[in-house]
Amino acid sequence: MIKVITYGTFDLFHEGHYNLLKRAKDLGDYLIVGVTSENYDKGRGKLNVHQSLVERIENIKQSGFADEIIVEEYMGQKIEDIKKYEADIFAIGSDWLGKFDYLNEYCEVVYLERTKGVSSTKLRNENRGILNIGCVGAGRIAKRMIRESKFVSGVNIDIVYGRNKAKIRKFAEENELEKYTTDFDEFLSKVDAVYIATPHTTHYDFAKRALESKKHVLCEKPITLKEDQTRELYEIADKNNVVLYEAIKTAYAPGFQRLVMITKSGVIGKVIDVDATFTKLENNKNLREYDLTQGGGSISELISYPLLAIFKLLGMDYEKITFYSRFDGETGIDLYTKALIQYEDAIASANVGLGVKKEGELIISGTHGYIYVPAPWWKTEYFEIRFENQNLNEKYFVKFDDDGLRYELVDFYHSIAEGALNISLSAEESAAISKVIEKFFDKADTIEI
């Protein structure tokens, strides 16, 4: 007898789950299905699971394919289960290709082709179903978003739009997407929501068309390069009763949200200074980051993160902002910029660079103490509250998974499902960030160094 074993969350059981179990069953005579527990799902970064373990087990039973159902509760259990149940084959979906090759030491590993185009459910939560998101753009961040989406139950990305047919066809094949198209109207007709991951200068047009077609929009930062365009997009979203989110991942990360709440509790007294830095060395001048016509440069690429921290902690009612920049003589982009933001009773600095490297830390200074967040602070998972009396110092640890894009996806999903406002990043904060970027490109308050 050939025994096959497979694992999964199996939340909101749909045709993809059904087909995977069928294919796994066809590999042998006896199928063992491991269903992950709630605690293990959280531990491995799986978010937004809707159904209880009991409900998900019942889904598997109703499929009729499982000869035995077990619960997966901890890392490393797969090896123990393979040995315990004497499994001959470990089967898993092809979206995990290569991830479980280490199990070949214990049994044969088979990657099963995933079902593309999952748009309906066989067993479905009464109030929540699958949110079908279409991807606009086929670049680096789009690929990361698709990978991260696999950790968010209830969302499905299975179509990509782009202008270069060969590029998006290759992207769809590499990321196992069912559909690709160069027709934006056709693209919109097949989705509930749109994720925009194209060059900055194209965000406004794509977002506007999607919102006017009453599609929810998750747009990469900066949402636009002009304050009035950002405000207009939020007004269109409100008018059409759809959700618009700016994808600044840090805003949605549990660690950063906790940091903001603790700071606002007054633990370090009144905040007087916020110093936030985000730099990364990009020496390939063929990238869009070096193309002014695509909104390239350190400010447009990176300042959304430092401004997020500054505006969350000091507000948006500043008196003056001055930019000190070093420009690239060949491309014209700013390789490094220090933005000094003056408030009535506080000051902040945002340091960003594509051609200059600096420690990527966040320091929040107050009248009673300060908070130190080490690099990379925008992936906030650890910070310290420090006082003059070091015996009073406190350390905080909050889990941050992979790229962190899954957190914004969960927030986006819930805002749509529950009709809630985006409290993690408001329309006013997005507009304020666009305003700073616009001021920089106007060059009125820029000093070259």
CA distances (Å), origin 436, targets 176, 225, 281, 319, 354: 39, 9, 23, 12, 18
Which residue ranges does the chain devote to CATH 3.30.360.10? 251-448
277-292 pLDDT, tens digit per residue, is 999 998 888 888 899 9
Q: What pLDDT score does 41 carry? A: 78
Q: What pLDDT score does 85 carry? A: 92
Query: What is the rounded distance in angstroms from the CA atom of residue 412 to the CA atom of residue 244?
Result: 8
Query: Apex CA 43: angle with CA 243 and CA 175, to 5°?
Result: 55
Mean pLDDT value across the chain: 92
The torsion of the CA quartet 75, 80, 85, 91, rounded to 10 degrees, works out to 50
Which residue ranges does the chain devote to CATH 3.40.50.620? 3-112
Pick the CATH number of 251-448 from 3.40.50.1980, 3.30.360.10, 3.40.309.10, 3.40.50.720: 3.30.360.10
Fold of 3-112: Rossmann fold (3.40.50)
Query: What is the rounded distance in angstroms from the CA atom of residue 296 to the CA atom of residue 418?
Result: 36
In sequence order, which residues have a C-beta less than 8 Å from that of residue 400 and are 6 or more positions away?
Answer: 253, 254, 255, 379, 380, 381
Q: What pLDDT score does 45 carry? A: 77
Query: What is the rounded distance in angstroms from the CA atom of residue 53 to the CA atom of residue 35?
Result: 8
In sequence order, which residues have a C-beta less than 8 Å from that of residue 368 and are 6 or more positions away?
Answer: 267, 268, 269, 387
Query: What is the rounded distance in angstroms from the CA atom of residue 353 to the CA atom of residue 336?
Result: 4
Q: What pLDDT score does 127 carry? A: 39
Q: What pLDDT score does 7 carry? A: 94
Which residues of the chain have a pLDDT value below 70? 116-128
133: alpha, beta or left, given left = phi > 0 and alpha = psi -120 to 50?
Answer: beta
Q: What pLDDT score does 117 carry? A: 57
Phi, psi of 389 (to 5 degrees): -85, 105
304-354 pLDDT, tens digit per residue, is 999 999 999 999 999 999 999 999 999 999 999 999 999 999 999 999 999
Beta strands in 343-411 (DSSP E): 347-353, 362-366, 370-373, 382-386, 394-397
Write out the DSSP string of 12-49.
Answer: S-BHHHHHHHHHHHHTSSEEEEEEE-HHHHHHTT-B--
Which residue ranges does the chain devote to CATH 3.40.50.720? 131-248
Query: What is the rounded distance in angstroms from the CA atom of residue 59 to the CA atom of residue 205?
Result: 42
Q: What pLDDT score does 185 carry? A: 97
User: Which H or E element spans position 427?
Assistant: helix 427-442
Q: What pLDDT score does 122 carry? A: 36
Question: Taking Cα atoms as reference points, which of 331, 355, 352, 330 lies closest to residue 440?
Answer: 352
Query: What is the rounded distance in angstroms from the CA atom of residue 105 to the CA atom of residue 78?
Result: 12
Phi, psi of 356 (to 5 degrees): -135, 135
71 neighbors 107 (Cβ within 8 angstroms): no
Q: What pLDDT score does 119 carry? A: 37
Q: What pLDDT score does 118 carry? A: 52
Helix (H, G, I), strand (E, B) or coil at 342: strand
Fold of 131-248: Rossmann fold (3.40.50)
